[in-house]
Structure 1
Amino acid sequence: MKFAIISAGEGSRLSQEGVRLPKPLVQLNGTAMIDRLIRIFEANGAEQVVVIINNEVPETKTHLAELKKTSGVPLEVVVKTTPSSMHSFYELSRYLKDDKFCLTTVDTIFREDEFARFIEAFKASDKDGMMAVTDYIDDEKPLYISTDEELNITGFHDEATPQCRYISGGIYCLTPKAIRTLEGCMEKGMSRMRNFQRQLVADGLRLTAYPFSKILDVDHASDIVKAEAFLNRKE
């Protein structure tokens, strides 16, 4: 199974709030966020990790070049500035067409034990996709997910509906079947990951929700302290 990281954003809100490091290199408990993800993926049996970064932050490129020399898992780095996370996913997709894969953004923070159970559940599943979800809402524009009683996903929504128990956690386990949907989205000129996810449902892919207790994003300087407390189980 392969793992992929979208890390092509500018991290403008962090820099405006005085955080000098590029977002992938922001440290949580002394470890860069991108290093933490790669280590976790390796621990969960990654055959390869593919990362996309933008071409405007040389520090991240240099860091990954050094990490590639010592990484215990094959590491592929794509350097390209893209207009959206869905476009970043498209740039990564050529590496992901031959097996199940897990995709996430670099600033998605979760507990490792929950993630390990999530990956094992997906490996054993016959579904086309398994999405990490949470009922903890700390996002400025959450993507709500409607499900049936068996947690099969029926829709993705900008606003909550009575069928929405969870929001998207930004961790996607998918099969190569999803790449065909992605390619169709690109051909139609679509953008944004949430529109891609809606298209997965429209195309009839079988998706299920996998609940996590809490998933955080690091978008602001204050989120760094919050994320560290969460990982240290103080929150």
Structure 2
Amino acid sequence: MHYAIIAAGEGSRLVQEGVALPKPLVDLDGRPMIKRLIDIMLDNNAESIAIIVNEQMTQVRQYLESLKLDTEFRLVVKTTPSSMHSFWEVSRAFPESGKFVLTTVDTIFRADDFAAYVEAFENAPAGTDGYMGVTSFIDDEKPLYVDVEPGSMKISGFKDQPFEGMKYISGGIYGLTAPALDVLRTCIGTGISRMRNYQRALVESGLRLQAWPFPKIVDVDHAADIATAREFINQ
């Protein structure tokens, strides 16, 4: 499996709330959160890992450059206007065929839940274009709601507002295949931005996406979220 991590945000809210370290280097379990994520990926058959950080994150870049990883590793240093554009930058590390998993550095989940997700994606039925991590635990300021077809977990849409029968929101974990990169290329070419709009474009393009539920996913956006994430992963 090929993996990518988007760590290109500024983390300005954490800075404003008194957190001195850049977000990717915040300690959650004795490791910086980005190292924890890398280790989880290495434990799940990582053929390669690509990471993007912005040009201002010199401390994060230096930390990543110091790592010795037992897999192919590509570090992209570039400031981008959105997470979708960050995805575009790291997508160049992906092979023309095969599967890959992308997530953001502040998406916090349990390692065993992620392992189950990767195994399911690796063994997905033929014709499946993606496995999108979702959760029914809503602790996001602006969640993206996921609509699935009745009686299945096939995704039929992504919505900004809650709706009747809604069960899941996007968890920020994207398992995709090569056709999704064609859609990404089109989005970049037509000026579409933001990951949520890209996800809508995947559905509109006819790609078959399955929702895979995680019991809980925590986003680290504020200083108080750090304690929540630490408690969650150490339970």
TM-score between both structures, scaled by the size of structure 1:
0.97
Distance 1:16 1:6 in 2: 21
SS of 2:206 mapped into structure 1? coil
* Residues 203-218 of structure 1: pairs in structure 2 closer than 5 A: 203-218=205-220
- Whether 2:135 is the aligned partner of 1:134: answer yes
Distance 1:66 1:73 in 2: 14
CA RMSD of aligned residues (A): 0.8
Residue of structure 2 in register with 1:103 after alignment: 102
SS of 1:164 mapped into structure 2? coil
Distance 2:69 2:85 in 1: 26
Give the aligned residue type for 2:48. Answer: Q
Deviation at 1:55, TM superposition (A): 0.7
Give the aligned residue type for 2:144. Answer: L
SS of 1:62 mapped into structure 2? helix
Residue of structure 2 in register with 1:167 after alignment: 169
Deviation at 1:73, TM superposition (A): 2.0
Q: Deviations over 1:115-154 (max 9, x none)?
A: 0010000001131000011000000000000001211000
Runs of 4+ in 1 over 4 A off after TM superposition: none
The 8 Å contact of residues 131 and 173 in structure 1, kept in 2 or not, is answered as yes
Distance 2:93 2:30 in 1: 30
SS of 1:194 mapped into structure 2? helix
* Residues 58-73 of structure 1: pairs in structure 2 closer than 5 A: 58-67=58-67, 70-73=68-71
The 8 Å contact of residues 74 and 93 in structure 2, kept in 1 or not, is answered as no
SS of 2:93 mapped into structure 1? coil
The 8 Å contact of residues 97 and 179 in structure 1, kept in 2 or not, is answered as no
Distance 2:216 2:37 in 1: 17
* Residues 1-235 of structure 1: pairs in structure 2 closer than 5 A: 1-67=1-67, 70-98=68-96, 99-125=98-124, 126=126, 127-148=128-149, 149-233=151-235
Give the aligned residue type for 2:109. Answer: F
Structure 2 unmatched ranges of 5 or more: none
The 8 Å contact of residues 104 and 170 in structure 1, kept in 2 or not, is answered as yes
Distance 2:208 2:189 in 1: 22
Distance 1:193 1:164 in 2: 20
